[in-house]
Chain A
């Protein structure tokens, strides 16, 4: 187990290096830099701009900036300074990462808690109305693009007024009297993005759960259990279900990457202040180190997600050894 973790982490190092290299290369080869928007302002002198450029380190060749940044990250864990926000990138990313994490966590919970029972019902009542309904809903969930669903959610919120149309907190959030009130405010904002982001996963898990359970229900040990007098309910929940849950865990790793891409769009449509929104904001402002750090963070989350999926799989099924 430890060997697997160590090897995966070692493999990740060159990947992250190459990724940061590509990021810096691409940003430096697109037009303008962070200060470009100021150069047409008559109140700002050329000399001042040059001095600023030198202060931010943007007058150096891109590979030197890249090397310095990587060196800083490796030796001091320093992700650099945001040009725009004028605070350390790590502070900026910390809160945004937490927001994305909250959204991802709640939509994962939403998907799993609904998908497992739906899948069970569909498998147990195979080809009957509940199955048809569950399969239909799953198919629908797979086909609705995240952007469209997010826009429909905004439409729903705008027409009914039952939910906020975007953002994470209301304008008066900081004046709410108690922590509990503030929590409720955030939860209220969380509902629609959670559903929008969770529907895709819900569809995948339901279909997978259904076919897994159908497979295990045919197994000999389920028949044996029924033959020795175990009730159908116990046979399904205790014998079949546990084995059927197993392959679901592999899906987790894949789903994680979908969750990240999905969150990217949902955050941008519904103004959720997460990592994806920060990336687009920083990208349009050429806030170099913020872009580099968010892209790295996205890749790191993907790697960790895959690693967790592998570890869970090995922990859950002793037959799978960690190579």
Chain B
């Protein structure tokens, strides 16, 4: 209340840096902010995954294969209201068809901050406290279980660690390559330009998935930079997939950045800097590349879903993340048969919804960023 009263709308934009102006435009964009909030929530949820998930994502439970989702309830079957939410158990009605019936004979109240399997939060803090759980022999599987009884909710959170981080790591690598190559080609021209641009055209002319799959097979056996070979650990597989996606992805960015660099290097401030005796490295990194930054931020946000979907496509086709590791792509792969989709739709919808929401949020945010950082591009 004691804050100074500010005029609601400024008449001019004087005194605000372009960055502050862009930030203001972004904050006024409702859809972009929704996207940003959803993404923040998703990344937070997944980074706290081990704490939030009630079961070890790799733990099998042969008593409950293909169990449908358990719904938290407040009302019991006799219509009585309970303050503490609870779940009912399932009874296997038909072990052959794996059909379940809700068993209303016993309520399992949901307890919070319960002890469960041990984990290390962010690889550092050892703990065995979980956000929620129910007493045995009750089971709370918010998104059901898969064919070997693993909790799908826990697996979605665990898989998100791979799926969500692959987008960020992949785009970082490909942006570094793209900026470097684009700047080299645009600034030096001549032979550099020719070589880099021919290579870029080659990458753009080959249908992406064919190239990705071919590269993937090569990494498997040969090993590049000491990675790969016959025995691939899960970490190495992760790196291989990221590197492949980035390797195929940088070409488009390099081409645009080269075009921008060609225009920027002719401008007076670059000439002035050169006249002052600045080194080429300094000119490129301090003066030319910062001017491409708004494009870089926009294209990065828009490209992240491409990497997430790249992992999904690779894992779906069986050449990406392998069991026992879990990612959203491999969860889709396990739900691919028509009979699974019909009888256990939660195996498709749980990872599917998370993929969809993530891509949607990135697109929202990317659209808003483009409007905020590049007002000329604003539609209509």
A139 to B309, CA, bound (A): 17
A145 in complex: contacting residue of B201, B209, B317, B359, CB < 8 Å = B359
Known: A15-B202, A139-B363, A265-B209. A154 touches B338 (CB 8 A): yes
Within 8 A of B (CB), among A129-188: 139, 142-145, 147-148, 151-152, 154-155, 157-159, 165-166
Shortest CB-to-CB span from A29 to chain B, Å, is 6
Shortest CB-to-CB span from A294 to chain B, Å, is 8
Task: Tell whether, in the assembled complex, residue B213 and residue A283 are in contact, meaning their CB atoms are under 8 Å apart.
Answer: yes
Inter-chain contacts of A265 with B (CB < 8 A): 209, 313, 316-317
A26 to B211, CA, bound (A): 10
Task: Tell whether, in the assembled complex, residue A30 and residue B218 are in contact, meaning their CB atoms are under 8 Å apart.
Answer: yes
The stretch from B11-19, B138-146, B341-349 touching chain A is B341-349
Task: Tell whether, in the assembled complex, residue B210 and residue A279 are in contact, meaning their CB atoms are under 8 Å apart.
Answer: yes
A268 to B213, CA, bound (A): 14
Inter-chain contacts of A260 with B (CB < 8 A): 207
Task: Tell whether, in the assembled complex, residue A155 and residue B342 are in contact, meaning their CB atoms are under 8 Å apart.
Answer: yes
User: Does any Cβ of A come within 8 Å of B220's Cβ?
Assistant: yes
Shortest CB-to-CB span from A252 to chain B, Å, is 16
Q: How many cross-chain pairs have Cβ atoms below 8 Å apart between A and B?
A: 112
User: Does any Cβ of B come within 8 Å of A295's Cβ?
Assistant: yes
User: Does any Cβ of B come within 8 Å of A102's Cβ?
Assistant: no
User: Does any Cβ of B come within 8 Å of A18's Cβ?
Assistant: yes
Shortest CB-to-CB span from B130 to chain A, Å, is 29
Task: Tell whether, in the assembled complex, residue A147 and residue B342 are in contact, meaning their CB atoms are under 8 Å apart.
Answer: no
Dominant SS among interface residues on chain A: helix
Within 8 A of A (CB), among B296-324: 305, 309, 312-313, 316-317
Task: Tell whether, in the assembled complex, residue A31 and residue B363 are in contact, meaning their CB atoms are under 8 Å apart.
Answer: no
Known: A155-B345, A269-B336, A280-B317. A264 touches B363 (CB 8 A): no
Task: Tell whether, in the assembled complex, residue A158 and residue B342 are in contact, meaning their CB atoms are under 8 Å apart.
Answer: yes
Shortest CB-to-CB span from B209 to chain A, Å, is 5
Known: A26-B214, A143-B360. A148 touches B352 (CB 8 A): yes
B356 in complex: contacting residue of A148, A155, A269, CB < 8 Å = A148
User: Does any Cβ of A come within 8 Å of B208's Cβ?
Assistant: yes
Tell me the count of chain B residues lying within 8 A, CB to CB, of chain A: 40
A44 to B219, CA, bound (A): 31
User: Does any Cβ of B come within 8 Å of A257's Cβ?
Assistant: yes
Inter-chain contacts of B363 with A (CB < 8 A): 139, 142-143
Task: Tell whether, in the assembled complex, residue A298 and residue B210 are in contact, meaning their CB atoms are under 8 Å apart.
Answer: yes
Task: Tell whether, in the assembled complex, residue B202 and residue A18 are in contact, meaning their CB atoms are under 8 Å apart.
Answer: yes
User: Does any Cβ of A come within 8 Å of B231's Cβ?
Assistant: no
User: Does any Cβ of A come within 8 Å of B104's Cβ?
Assistant: no
User: Does any Cβ of B come within 8 Å of A251's Cβ?
Assistant: no
User: Looking at A19, A26, A148, A165, which has the most chain B CB atoms within 10 Å of its CB?
Assistant: A148
User: Does any Cβ of A come within 8 Å of B280's Cβ?
Assistant: no
Known: A15-B202, A30-B217. A145 touches B338 (CB 8 A): no
Shortest CB-to-CB span from B25 to chain A, Å, is 19
Task: Tell whether, in the assembled complex, residue A29 and residue B221 are in contact, meaning their CB atoms are under 8 Å apart.
Answer: yes
Closest to B230 in A: A31
User: Does any Cβ of B come within 8 Å of A194's Cβ?
Assistant: no
The interface bits of chain A over 8-44 (1 if a CB of B lies within 8 angstroms of the residue's CB, else 0) are 0000000100110011001101110000000000000
A152 to B235, CA, bound (A): 31
A265 to B309, CA, bound (A): 11
Inter-chain contacts of A261 with B (CB < 8 A): 207-209
Closest to B342 in A: A158
User: Does any Cβ of A come within 8 Å of B87's Cβ?
Assistant: no
Shortest CB-to-CB span from A127 to chain B, Å, is 8
Closest to A31 in B: B221
User: Does any Cβ of B come within 8 Å of A211's Cβ?
Assistant: yes
User: Does any Cβ of A come within 8 Å of B5's Cβ?
Assistant: no
Shortest CB-to-CB span from B143 to chain A, Å, is 16
Known: A29-B221, A158-B338. A145 touches B355 (CB 8 A): yes
Closest to A270 in B: B338
Inter-chain contacts of A280 with B (CB < 8 A): 213, 317
A-B contact list, 16 entries, CB within 8 Å: A15-B201, A23-B214, A144-B356, A145-B309, A147-B313, A151-B352, A152-B348, A154-B341, A155-B341, A155-B342, A211-B380, A257-B207, A260-B207, A269-B316, A280-B213, A302-B207
The 10 closest A-B pairs by CB, nearest first: A158-B342, A165-B338, A298-B207, A30-B217, A143-B360, A26-B214, A155-B341, A145-B309, A158-B338, A143-B359
Known: A126-B380, A265-B317; 19 extra A-B contacts, CB below 8 A, are: A15-B205, A19-B202, A26-B217, A30-B218, A30-B221, A142-B363, A145-B312, A148-B352, A148-B355, A158-B339, A159-B342, A214-B379, A261-B207, A261-B209, A269-B336, A276-B209, A298-B210, A302-B206, A303-B205
